[in-house]
Amino acid sequence: MFGLKADWSLDIKQRYFTLGNYAGGEARWCPGCGDHGVLTVVQRICRDEQLPPEKTVAVSGIGCSSRLPHYMGTYGFHGLHGRALPVACGIKARRPELDVWVATGDGDCYSIGTGHWIHAVRYNMNMTVLVFDNSVYGLTKKQTSPTTPIGFQSNTHPLGAPLAPLNPLTATLGITNVSFVAQTIDWNPVHLYETIKAAHNHKGFSLVNILQRCPVYSENVLKDLQQNPSKLLLLTHDKGIPLETNLLRLFPNQQEHDPLNMSEAYDIAVQNSPVPVGLLYHNPDVPCYEDISSQGKNMGVDEKLAALNAAYDQFAI
């Protein structure tokens, strides 16, 4: 460059993201809804991990919980009822470098989305799946969900739910290739944060069942657990959810549980009294399906045509 000093270099400052970078529209959940706390924790983890918003995707189906992508300052996909997981798997298959979060509910995931839930666990694609479990269909105004406790009066069962509820923990633990199963509560922000953070740090399909309060339609379902911590069982272990001593004092019932122990995890989940919170199972060695499905995604048009022709030539007579 004639007349100018040409040995300069541009000093590009490292990007730093604040909570505001992950804020989308104003959350319109009911006052006192546990969804607010989950959203705040997700945004905090994105900030603490410094996830680029343009490389982060929030996916959901239908329900109160599925409003979450609207409240995130990232890419988002608000899908059909029960279809959050196939959308998320499709994104991960072709764009494995993206950070994928899934927000779904006990009805959206464990009812109409059951088939997708089972196979998404089996695929073990690297995504963080948060199930907002309030034991009722909230968005459609109080119908019985798969996790509604027996006897609970709803619009579909005014005399009380006649069947025992589905246990999402034992069901997930029974699926082939399961790699991460945890449960937490929305009213303990520290445990909520540490559990979701551990799920995000896991490479694979991380399912976190969040016991989430609905102050309008299922207020009494979780009130006893909130007011009586002795009905909770805190799972502790060096390989589990890290908690400070001050927080441990809030849980009268604690059990040392190695999350690599599948049989013990199932025994803890099946009793469900007291209700377990913490990391039930973690196997970091399960292969991720996107490592297979994303092969060849960078091939050019000519390479793809050549591969197709080579495949067709196998059937030539």
Over the stretch 8-32, which tens digit does the pLDDT of each residue have?
Answer: 556 656 889 999 999 999 999 999 9
245-265 core/surface letters (b: 16 or more CB in 10 A; e: else):
eeeeeebeeeeebbbeebebb
Q: Report the amino acid identity of residue 37.
A: G
Residue 297: pLDDT over 80: no
Mean pLDDT, rounded, for 294-304? 82
Distance CA 191, CA 173 (A): 21
Residue 270: pLDDT over 50: yes
Residue 170: pLDDT over 60: yes
Q: Strand runs (DSSP E) across 61-190, as ranges?
A: 75-78, 99-105, 127-133, 180-185
Question: Would you state the pLDDT for residue 2?
Answer: 47
Check: pTM over 0.85? Answer yes or no: yes
303: pLDDT confidence band, cut at 50, 70 and 90? Answer: confident
What is the CATH number that goes with domain 19-288?
3.40.50.970
- Orientation angle between helical segments 35-48 and 189-201, nearest 10 degrees: 50
Residues constituting the chain: 317
Total Cβ atoms within 10 A of residue 96: 17
Distance CA 59, CA 232 (A): 30
Domain range summary for the chain, segments of one domain joined by +: 19-288
Residue 4: pLDDT over 80: no
Residue 272: pLDDT over 90: no
Per the CB < 8 A criterion, the answer to whether 73 and 35 are in contact is: no
Mean pLDDT of the chain: 94
